């Protein structure tokens, strides 16, 4: 079964940092691009970042560029999102999702990041 | 404000058909056949329902179909069932600095 499990969310003060992880199983992780998508409470989906299968290509939304860093470890079947200089507007559930069919499938269950003093 | 425009809500009775629109520009929906649709039940992760405008992943009911005309994509659900009540989001590849854009989401109510 293809599965993605996020971890690392929590409560952090404005200006702080957090590192999210996504553990993948049930598929050849190194063959797929991976993505982070977030959803603020009661709001819609927002694409955050994408990384190609070999980490050669990396993309960020303008809202996080310069503050967030996506990375992956194909040997550990893991995806990461290092989040620095966090702001209140970064509060959201963060999902990791496999890139396939020029879309996102499947999605993990999400991890909640709350930025508040 | 989301990059793609969807109606905030739609509704239909069991057995009926509904269509959800997703309007973008020639830089996203109109320029590429990389439109996908996602279903999200409350408190759950999104689920891919349609990819590349009109293709269904394995396991998705054939009651779900997608299409595109110009800068507007559409998701049609036929034979509405109570379990279809959920939020639906469209997404598209974009040639702008943002690689992917989403619609604001549409809440489907099955009356």
| Averaged pLDDT of chain A | 97
pLDDT in tens, A95-113: 999 998 789 999 999 999 9
Residues 50-109 of B with CB under 8 A from A: 51-52, 55, 57, 89, 91, 93, 97-105
- From A73's Cα to the closest Cα of chain B, the distance in A is 22
Identify all chain B residues contacting A105, using CB atoms and an 8 Å cutoff. 47-48, 51, 57
Q: What pLDDT score was predicted for residue B1?
A: 60
Neighbouring C-beta atoms of residue B37, cutoff 10 Å: 30
CA distance A87 to A105: 28
The one-character DSSP state at B56 is P
Pairing between β-strand A10-12 and β-strand A111-115 as defined by DSSP bridges: parallel
Identify all chain B residues contacting A106, using CB atoms and an 8 Å cutoff. 45, 47-48
Identify all chain A residues contacting B93, using CB atoms and an 8 Å cutoff. 102
Q: What pLDDT score was predicted for residue B3?
A: 84
Q: What pLDDT score was predicted for residue B86?
A: 98
Q: What pLDDT score was predicted for residue A47?
A: 96
Residue A115 · residue A13 · CB < 8 Å: yes
Structure tokens belonging to residue A45 = 């989906």
Q: Which residue has the higher pLDDT, A100 or A41?
A: A41
pLDDT surpasses 80 at B2 = no
Q: What pLDDT score was predicted for residue B16?
A: 97
Q: pLDDT tier at B98 (50, 70, 90 boundaries)?
A: confident
Q: pLDDT tier at B96 (50, 70, 90 boundaries)?
A: confident
Say whether B100 and A46 touch across the interface (CB within 8 A): no
Q: What is the mean pLDDT of residues B49-64?
A: 96
């Amino acid at each position: 079964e293809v599965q993605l499990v996020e971890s690392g969310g929590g409560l952090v003060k404005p200006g702080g940092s957090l590192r999210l992880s996504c553990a993948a199983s049930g598929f050849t992780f190194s063959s797929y691009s991976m993505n982070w998508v977030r959803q603020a409470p009661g709001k819609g989906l927002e694409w955050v970042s994408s990384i190609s299968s070999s980490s050669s290509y990396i993309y960020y939304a303008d809202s996080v560029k310069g503050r967030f860093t996506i990375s992956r470890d194909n040997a550990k079947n893991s995806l990461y999102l290092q989040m620095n200089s966090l702001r209140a507007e970064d509060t959201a559930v963060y999902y990791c999702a496999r890139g396939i069919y020029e879309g996102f499938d499947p999605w993990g269950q999400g991890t909640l990041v709350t930025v508040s003093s | 404000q989301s990059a793609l425009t969807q109606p905030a809500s739609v509704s239909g009775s069991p057995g009926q058909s509904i269509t959800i629109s997703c309007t973008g520009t020639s830089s996203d929906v109109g320029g590429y056949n990389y439109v996908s649709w996602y279903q999200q039940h409350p408190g759950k992760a999104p689920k891919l329902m349609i990819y590349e405008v009109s293709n269904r992943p394995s396991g998705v009911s054939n009651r779900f179909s997608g299409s595109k005309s110009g800068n507007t994509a559409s998701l049609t659900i036929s034979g509405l069932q109570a379990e279809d009540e959920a939020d639906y989001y469209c997404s598209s590849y974009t040639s702008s600095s943002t690689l992917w854009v989403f619609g604001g989401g549409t809440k489907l109510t099955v009356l």
